[in-house]
Each structure stands twice: as C-alpha cells, then as structure tokens.
Structure 1
Amino acid sequence: MINVKFSLAFEGNEADNNQLDFYDAADALTGFQRSLALTTHLVLNGEIITQAPSLKGARILIKSPEQGSWKVVTTVGMIMAGAHQLGTAPRDTVLGNLVTSAYDYVVNETLGFHVDFDKTLGEQYEEVQRQRKPIAPTITQSQMDALIEKCESSVKEMHRPIYASKTAENAVIKSTYKRAVTNIAEIDLDTFDYVNLTMQVERPIENTGRVSSYNINTFKGRIFVSNEHRPIPFDLAEGCRDFQSVQAVTQSLQRNARDRFGADGEVRFVAFRFESSTGRLKRLLITRVVPSANP
C-alpha cells in the first residue's frame, strides 16, 4: 500500500491552545477529506466524482489531533490505481508523487495561485506514459479544472475556523511522502476572501489571449492573458458556441501548442470578468470571439 500523509494545522488564537470551535472544526475536516477524496479518485481512476464515499482504490484515515496547535494528520492509503496493481517501488513512487502534485494543484489554483500544469503534472504524466504498463490513467488539464470546480466549496469549508468563530488565524496544509515534506498552501482571511466571493463586472471587456487548454464537451478552457501574466479559466457563453467561434478557439490552441510566441496563436474576444472581492480576475465568460484572419 502507498501511504501519502496530508496535514491541516490551524494556528493563532485558540488554536494555539489546541482547541477550535467544534462546528467549525467539523466543517473544515469535511472539506479537507472531500477535497482529498475527489483528487485521489481522479488520479487513480481517471474520473471525477462528486461524493467522497465514492472513492475507489484508496482509504483516507485520520489520526488524533496533535498538541501545540490544532493539527490533524490524514493518511491516503492507495491499494491500486484503477486496473493497475501496485507493488514495485519505482512505480509506487510515481503514483505517490502524482497524488501529492495533484492536490497541490487543486488547492493552489482554487486559492488563486497559478500552478503551471505542463511543468508539474504534465511532466509527471509524460513519465507515466513512458512506462510499459502505465500505473495510472493520464489526466488532462481540463479534467483538473473540472475537479477544481468540484473542490471549491470544500476548500472554502476548510477556512471556517478562521472566518466564522475566529478560533484560528490561519492554517497550513502540508504533505509528506516517504521523507519529502511539501508545503502546499497557507490559508487565511485573504484566501477566504478570494474563494468566498465572485463578482461579475457589469461591462464586458475586449482583449486578446492564447488558448492553452479547451474541452469541446464543456466549452470550458484556459486562456493566457498577457496583462494578467497567467492562464485564466473561461467559459464560452451559450451564444458563442457556433462553429466559427469554436474553430477560432481550437485554432488558437493548436497554434499555441506549435509556437507559444507566434503572432497567429492569439485570439481576440469580448468577455465579462468575474473577480474576487479584491478585484483579482478569477474567470472569464466569453460572449464573442473574433475569428482569426490567418488561414
């Protein structure tokens, strides 16, 4: 069995005396467990679930809270990955690292911190595919984006002791696999403000960007906007799903894959901004795409 440990440690206020508001702690643990379960299931089985009890191929166990701060340690014990049996150290190491990186990606993207998919999970999945018998199904960025949507409410719940009873000031999320400790994220009132509130700006804006991922089934994707310095999640509005608009999006994706700096990889669009309470762009609803003049 592969065991990867994840910890959630609340600090400050009453948490320093090893106590939290009971209701808030229960909510936070529910969000912690659900986000871990959904992420682990996707890595192991290549499918997205919405209910934590549907987790297959793994168990999530919890230890008693530790003294000092209010800290709990969970163990994600993986028995198998879909139809792939575990057992050899190199293959097991790959899977343990995949779960750690996937959870890091989900939490940080949910909190508004950009993680480069290609340089993290993308490279790890390339290693998986080089194996004669891949240990896990390959997960796309579109699947990870769908998982982030499902986990957003859970990550919000993990903030409850911080914003509701205020029995804690912040919390630190870490993972431990073998002897490697990874600091995944720190959550506080600022990250709560980001994940809690999404406001649509009244007037649409016109901009250009490079499509970095797109799902033809959901009309969702990511587009790199230069003045934001990161890929932004987007949805094509109902009235923007015609052949020409979709073709312009997919052409940008294909051309961007060939040359990330080529002028023909950009697409012009009109969209509504969805922002956090501090004005940070969270996603775009694209209402019009200007087809490229290039063949």
Structure 2
Amino acid sequence: MSVEFALEFHGRDADKNRLDLYDASISYNGMARVISILGHYYVTGDVISHAPKSVVQIYLYPPEAGSFRTTVAAAVIGGVITVPFAVLVQRTFDDWFPRPDPQMQQVIELLQEQNKLLRQEGGVAIEKTEEEKNQEVRADRFIEEKAPDFLTLRGITANSFKDIFRPVGRSADYVAMTSGPFRTPISSIDESAAIRIQSERLDQKIETIVGVVNNLSRSSKTGIIFSEERGRSIPFQDNIPGRLPPEDDYSWSQHFRRKIEITGRFVYWFDGRVKRFLVENMRRLED
C-alpha cells in the first residue's frame, strides 16, 4: 500500500512554477530519508540511522501542472501500531514542528477547507469520523509510550528534517505539507518557523554517559549510544578534533557490545528536548 505525502511551495520562484534545483533536490532527499526511517520504524519497530536499509521504498511523483506541488509516496506494508502510517507521520511531525504563527495558521485553515471539499467530492464525510479521531488518539498514545524511540528518531533525522524546508526563504516563501488523496493538512512552514526548526541550545553543564554504541558513521563521526541508566538511545556527535583512528572506541563498543564512557554536553531543540550529545572525551570501560 502506498501512502502519499505532498510538499506544495508558494511565493517567489515557486509561483513561477520553478524552484532552485539545488534547493529542491536537498528538500526531496531530506523528505525521502525522514519518511524512510519513520516508515521502517512503523513496520518493524526498529530504529535505524541509514535510510537505504529501510524496508520502505520511496517514490517521487511529477509536480502537478499549474503549481509547484510534488507528491512523495511510501510503500508501507503492515505496522506495529493499528493506525495508518499517514496518521502516525502527521502526529509525529505535529510534535516536531513549532506552533504556527497567525499567518501560517491562516494557510492551515485554508488547507483544512480544501480538505473538506476534496472529501466531499470523494464521497467521504466532510468532518473527521470518530474512527479517524480515535486513530489520532491512538497515535498520540503510541508516541508518548515510545517517547525514547521518537526522541532518538528525531535526533537521527534532524539534518534531513530541516533539509525538507531548504527552499523556504530562498526560492519560496513557505511550504504546505499534506497527506493522502484528500490532502489532509500536516502543517505549513515559513522562514521564521524553518529557522526555529534549525535552532539549538548547547548546555554548559558537562555530563557523562555510559553505554553501548548501536550505530556509527565514521565519516560524519556520529552515532547512537544506548544508556541503560537513562533508559534510552541517545544520538551523539564526536567533537574531538581530527578523524577517528583505526579501531576507535566507538567501533570497539559496537562490534563487541561493550560499554564506553563518553563525556560532553547535551544539545537541545527549540522546545527544550534533547537533540544530541556532543562528545568531548571518551574511554573504554574494561572488566
């Protein structure tokens, strides 16, 4: 089953039915990676950091004539939760987005009216049914119960998530995001919201984490460490100057499933939740 998500850019070059090619390619690549990783979690319940390993295939449809609206489709089969994938993505993004300002709220309200018209044309109830409302409640409950996983997913996809909005403020004024054939609104992001999504705060407090590395990218010096004490996986970025040496401690921990100790500082999102851990020192914990 394919689940559709659409990005519709407005203003500037987008109103001339064009976008900067570099901006657009970064945006679609970011969307593909985020949906791939969320889709893999939806199907398997496993958190991955490499999108090519996802069990979900992502397809790009051509832009619609007369607008710069492009649809991305995810081929999703099954799931660890009994709500549609589109609903889970919508509620997840809603949790990750900043609250819309009055101008963007007006755009969202227009999208909601458009959604009602399309539902009516499709022979579907204009207002959300009780089952659709229950699906949203179940999705919110699932996200709350699996909060550590979704915090990790948010950290893993952070760079790709902000890339989705690359054209905003450059070749477009804002982007509207919808899902499904009836264009159910997810959100609308303008330049100020895109800046907030990218913003972060570095904690000045030095902390220590003991855990086992689950994922590692040597080229970017990033990965995920699971801490039993904190009860969750934490994205980290090595901030020690230079390249990782051969047989580094992160690789040792990942390969042998042994604990390491990392010291550094937390980086927080605009909403105060943990984004990643910047490592300033590390060492192996031998028996």
**Cα distance, 1:22 vs. partner?**
0.4
Distance 1:184 1:284 in 2: 22
Alignment of 1:59-208 (within 5 A): 59-81=57-79, 94-95=82-83, 97=84, 99-113=85-99, 119-123=137-141, 140-163=146-169, 166-176=170-180, 180-200=182-202
Distance 2:274 2:77 in 1: 37
SS at match of 1:173: strand
Give per-residue Cα distances to partners, 1:21-41, cap 9 Å, x unaligned: 000000000001111111111
Q: Is the 8 A contact 1:170 1:188 kept in 2?
A: yes
The residue aligned with 2:261 is: none
Give per-residue Cα distances to partners, 1:46-70, cap 9 Å, x unaligned: 10111221111x3221111112331
Q: Are the structure 2 counterparts of residues 118 and 149 from structure 1 closer, same or farther at C-alpha, using a change threshold of 3 Å? A: farther
Matching residue's letter, 2:70: V
Q: Are the structure 2 counterparts of residues 217 and 70 from structure 1 closer, same or farther at C-alpha, using a change threshold of 3 Å? A: farther
Alignment of 1:241-256 (within 5 A): none
**Cα distance, 1:118 vs. partner?**
9.3
Q: Are the structure 2 counterparts of residues 189 and 45 from structure 1 closer, same or farther at C-alpha, using a change threshold of 3 Å? A: same
Give per-residue Cα distances to partners, 1:173-200, cap 9 Å, x unaligned: 1111xx6542111112122211212123
Distance 1:124 1:141 in 2: 8
SS at match of 2:26: helix
Instruction: Give the structure-2-normalised TM-score.
Output: 0.57
Distance 1:36 1:81 in 2: 14
Distance 2:3 2:29 in 1: 18
Unaligned 5+ runs, structure 1: 83-90, 126-137, 205-214, 222-232, 234-270, 286-295
**Cα distance, 1:202 vs. partner?**
5.7
Q: Are the structure 2 counterparts of residues 155 and 200 from structure 1 closer, same or farther at C-alpha, using a change threshold of 3 Å? A: same
Q: Are the structure 2 counterparts of residues 194 and 217 from structure 1 closer, same or farther at C-alpha, using a change threshold of 3 Å? A: farther
Q: Is the 8 A contact 1:101 1:120 kept in 2?
A: no
Residues 1:219 and 2:230 are matched in the alignment: yes
Q: Are the structure 2 counterparts of residues 67 and 55 from structure 1 closer, same or farther at C-alpha, using a change threshold of 3 Å? A: same
SS at match of 2:168: helix
Unaligned 5+ runs, structure 2: 101-134, 207-225, 235-264, 277-287
Taking only the aligned residue pairs, the percentage that are identical comes to 20
Instruction: Work out the number of aligned pairs and report it.
Output: 193
The residue aligned with 2:17 is: 18
Q: Are the structure 2 counterparts of residues 275 and 36 from structure 1 closer, same or farther at C-alpha, using a change threshold of 3 Å? A: closer
**Cα distance, 1:139 vs. partner?**
7.3
Matching residue's letter, 2:14: A
Distance 2:163 2:60 in 1: 18
Instruction: Give the structure-1-normalised TM-score.
Output: 0.55
**Cα distance, 1:272 vs. partner?**
8.7
Matching residue's letter, 1:111: F
